[in-house]
Amino acid sequence: MLRDDSESLGTRSLPGCGQSWSSPSVCSTIAEQQNTVYGLVSSHEMIPVSLSEVSFFNEDEDDEDRAFQCTLAIIKPEIANLMYKVECIMAQNGFIIKEKEVLRLSRDQAAEFYDEHALAPYFAKLVDHMSEVPIVVYVLSKRNCVEEWLRLIGPANVSLAKRLFPVSLRAIYGTETGPDPVANAFHGSDSPAAAEREIKFFFPNSKVDSTIDNGDDDVVQYIKDTMMPTISEGLSEMFNILPQDPLRWFGNWLLTRDK
């Protein structure tokens, strides 16, 4: 019988397993969440903030290439306890969380999900790793979401990510020391077709498709009404201060403004 090894994470099994449970404290206290999400960026860590790359209102964009999409993202076991911090990074980079589940895979489920890697020498190691403790699974939405999420997390090879893309999430949080894509902290669908398949695997009742055809207006309106006033306030204050590192200052301002 599966056992919840993390007291701080509420978990469930996938549909059809007949096993589900809820941790006594999905988040132990609101204060703990705030300390995790709103804490200052440490001096040795770079949070990838790319607000300048989030083009929501450019009328000249190619709608086909920059359509709103959904993708499947997974926070792997080694950093599942940092999910609130990762969610802050997601928001800073323009991703909208459409679905979220904290769950624990059985070995059979992990093997089924990673079936395309079945002949790889690291397959058994990957299955064991992904089924040993809870993971966090998301459906994310953004323009060109599949490609943008893969760009943010970086290459599957952690050593390569650290060398060539040092501010990618896998470079920062991946713990794998070899070339195998096992403990590399994150998963991302590698194509819109894979995103649709993987979303259905974890969220079989979800109506979210890999490409959103008619959701642009609602999303853009939400961004205009909810996000842009905050962003404008921060940019105005930053202009008055003129910090030496504007991106880091603005990231810290976003993290601490609600304290």
How many other CB atoms sit within 10 Å of the CB of residue 185? 26
Question: How many angstroms separate the CA atoms of 17 and 158, rounded?
Answer: 33
Residues 6+ away with beta carbon under 8 Å from 151? 168
pLDDT for 247: 86
Relative orientation angle of helices 192-202 and 145-153, to the nearest 10 degrees: 80
Contact between residue 221 and residue 206 where contact means Cβ atoms under 8 Å apart: no
Give tens-digit pLDDT for 119-145.
999 999 999 999 999 999 999 999 999
- Name the β-bridge partners of 188: 73
Catalytic residue IDs: 187
pLDDT at 30 over 60: no
CA geometry: angle at 47 spanning 45 and 50, to 5°? 150
Contact between residue 173 and residue 152 where contact means Cβ atoms under 8 Å apart: no
Please tell me the total number of residues recorded for the chain in this structure: 259
Instruction: Find the helix or strand (DSSP H, E) in which 135 lies.
Output: strand 135-143
Give the model's confidence band at 31: pLDDT under 50 very low, under 70 low, under 90 confident, else very high: very low
Give tens-digit pLDDT for 135-183.
999 999 999 999 999 999 999 999 999 999 999 999 999 999 888 899 9
Give tens-digit pLDDT for 51-109.
334 443 444 445 445 578 999 999 999 999 999 999 999 999 999 999 999 999 999 99
pTM of the model: 0.62
3-state helix, strand, coil in the chain (%, to 5): 45, 10, 45
Contact between residue 78 and residue 175 where contact means Cβ atoms under 8 Å apart: yes
Tokens found for residue 207 = 């109506």
In angstroms, what is the C-alpha Rg of the chain?
Answer: 19
pLDDT at 259 over 70: no
